[in-house]
Chains A and B, each alone.
Chain A
Amino acid sequence: MADHILSWMTFFPVIGAVVIAFIPKGNKEIVKTVAAAAAAVPLILAVRLFIDFDRNLDGFQFIEHFEWIKTFNIEYHMGVDGLSVPMVLLTAFLSFLCIIASWKIEKATKGYFALFLLLEAGMMGVFCALDFFLFYVFWEVMLLPMYFLIGIWGGPRKEYAAIKFFLYTLAGSVLMLLAMIALYLFTTDPATGQTGTFNMLHMFDQANHTGILTLDNVRFALWMGLFIGFAIKVPIFPFHTWLPDAHVEAPTAVSVILAGVLLKMGTYGILRISYPMLPDQAKAFMIPMAILGAINILYGAFCALAQTDMKKLVAYSSVSHMGYVLLGMSAMTEAGINGAVFQMFNHGTITAMMFLCVGVIYDRAHHREINGFGGLGLQMPLYTTVTSFALFAAIGLPGLSGFVSEAMVFMGAFPVHQTITIISAIGIIIGAAYVLWMLQRVFLGTRNEKYDDIQDINSREMFTLVPIGLVVLFLGIYPMPVLNLMKVSLNSLIAVINVAG
């Protein structure tokens, strides 16, 4: 497995899914065990990757490069750098925990776990692909299981949410596809000297761009196409409304993956594809991007403040937190971009905790109405502690990882966008407001006697929450292990953009 570690990580879940498909109906325990095992292997490999990854090397590592479809010069090309390794780690980590968190799924267990593993494969592939076509394939592959996971195992308005999610994302994909084809047609393959290659590494090199790719208007159009395509995934205002609906309807574990990993694909795409391929346009688009970031931060926070459904609140908080990522990216400074990627990682872990916590209460009370609780702190002390931990992490409490990345984003963005950063910083007040208000209404205050017999969090749920909590705490105290992974690659990305600008 050591040779093709990325392929194993990507395709082992597929093997698991196939195996599950052949397990006779009714053997739910076996299905779950197989699923957990199939998700555990990528996690182990991810740890291996974390250890073996050379932190001082700029460029891609663990490369796998084969011909795939020769006619169109499409290749099977996988590799990771400092930008993708944290995302791969996050994907492997959360996928495994989500399988455990889904243990209670009773409806069509086989289908659920098989789809979940396919989803993991798609996500892994997106983060590892170095061939644009391959990237696109994985991007779409991951869409379908998600659609079914929301549409079949979701809440009351699941069809609406699933279709909204699917159509929205598909609309983005189409724009991306057009841009991809344009890039493909007018990029020279240095090996043959002819145009037409999907190899991202060739696309990164501006010297390979020919024909219309050298025209400013075309480059702007391509940038916008890619940006909107990725913006829908992030989601950036005003393309964000699929998110609250999808989150509210999706089952807990799917929400976790949706917020924890899928949203990162948008920002990952911008950093992996848009920035290095069109650095001049990226530089020119800094201010609009920063403004969109500020809007996301504040708009998401204010919307969250007005929600009465816990999951919707957490969903809007995701919109707000992804705004920090955008703000940091738009600064194109060391602290900004490193902070943005670190925030992507941290948001993944912290939001995962929040959704898992909401899932715990939903499993017991069968509703998520914030005003329907009160004084749970006395009835579920352990759960209160864990949830408070997650919520305080979300408002960027120092000592927990969210603070480090938010502070880095602000420090990085401030020299470049002074006013916008100051306005965005209001988000830290509103962020605290919606979190504390929810904390008060759910856990503090007068006891709601309806829930006197409610059970506190159980050990299986703790098993899913504690590892994430430890990661959040550790990275809050000492963030360098993850920052070391990314800083060399990201700093060279900044250099590329600053040269172009």
Chain B
Amino acid sequence: MMEVGLTHYLTVGAILFTLGIFAVMTRRNTVALLMGVELILNGANVNFVAFSRFVETSIDGHIMAAFVIVLAAAEAAVALAIVLAMFRNFGTVHVDSVDSLKQ
């Protein structure tokens, strides 16, 4: 049976990160965009925990992951509030149609 090693974890993390990047780059809906950001953060989290477990045995990585989770929650709260404000003001949640700063 194949031993689950560092490489596997990193691969999962990378997949998550890439999916997140892809979501952020392609989705027009702001909520979906935020979900992409969550994926990126969680991709990073997987890496933190993996390195913590395999490379240097300590709890530093875990702590960092916990911080990221908290931060993601806070970020989601703020961002969703912004999305709500945006919807109220512009009547849409599509990022590409909110470009009044550009003019």
Q: Are A and B close enough to touch in the complex, i.e. CB under 8 Å? A: no
Q: Which residues of B contact A (CB under 8 A)?
A: none
Q: Which residues of A contact B (CB under 8 A)?
A: none
